[in-house]
Amino acid sequence: MKTTLPRGRMSGLALVASAILMWGAPAASAADAPGAQSAAAAQGIVNAVGYLPLPDRPVLMVRPLDNSDDNMKIKTEIENTLRARGYGVAASSPLVLSFDTRNEVGAWSETDRRTILELKAEGGREGGEYAHAKVNIFDSAVGGLLNKGHGGTSIATPSAYRIDVTLDDKSNGKRLWQGWAVANLSYGNPAELSRAMVPVLMQRLGQTATRQPFSLQ
């Protein structure tokens, strides 16, 4: 709830601010805010861009850009998924399906101070011709004159796991397709998430998709 004081010069507002700020107190220490993640965060997001049509009965070579143990397991998952979908898989082919994986660090914001008084002035030589103050009496989130609020830390962007895949024709240097999938890391480790993401990506091989959600289950 916010109360608006009558308009006046900034000198009058300064007196109001001094009286009100005497009621202020330090905010509570930061803590993890409950319920910061929505149910939608449990879903992954897949994007894909088809540049050129795929040839009939294509035979693909799957190539990880990083030969880590985890990526070699994903390579096997991709090859098995391709075979199940009727694609050919070979150790050497001009059609190269390359992929890479990475973790994307999230971002957080902290609400460690409450707002008691908001001042605004417009016009006049000293900027106080049209001036007013808003007193924040009570705010359950950030706190006000009568309460401290919750404070703490809120998640702006959760940490995520991402797989990027491209399909290139090495015989002419043209890119046929690319796709990428992103999933919230709080819903599984990379190995678990990749098992849910690989079938979704291969299902859209050669197609175009824009921010399509999919279940990680």
Domain locations along the chain: 2-26+111-154, 42-107+156-215
What H or E segment, with its residue span, contains residue 191?
helix 190-203
Determine which of 15-19, 57-61, 127-131 has the lowest per-residue pLDDT on average: 15-19
CATH class in words for 42-107+156-215? alpha beta
Could you tell me the pLDDT band of residue 187, with boundaries at 50, 70 and 90?
confident
Measured distance between the N- and C-terminal CA atoms of the chain, rounded to whole angstroms: 43
Residue 181: HSE in the Cβ half-sphere, 13 Å Cα cutoff: 27
- Give kind and range of the element (H or E) at residue 13: helix 10-21
Q: What is the pLDDT of residues 116-172, one digit of tens each?
A: 555 555 554 544 455 555 666 656 555 665 666 555 555 456 789 999 999 999 999
What is the rounded distance in angstroms from the CA atom of residue 137 to the CA atom of residue 19? 14
How many Å separate Cα 177 from the centre of its chain? 24
Task: Please state the rounded mean pLDDT for residues 30-38.
Answer: 38
HSE (side-chain half, CA atoms, 13 Å) at 83: 10
Beta strands in the chain (DSSP E): 2-4, 43-50, 59-64, 88-89, 95-104, 107-110, 117-122, 130-136, 153-157, 160-169, 174-184, 209-215
Asked whether 88 and 58 are in contact (CB, 8 A), the reply is yes
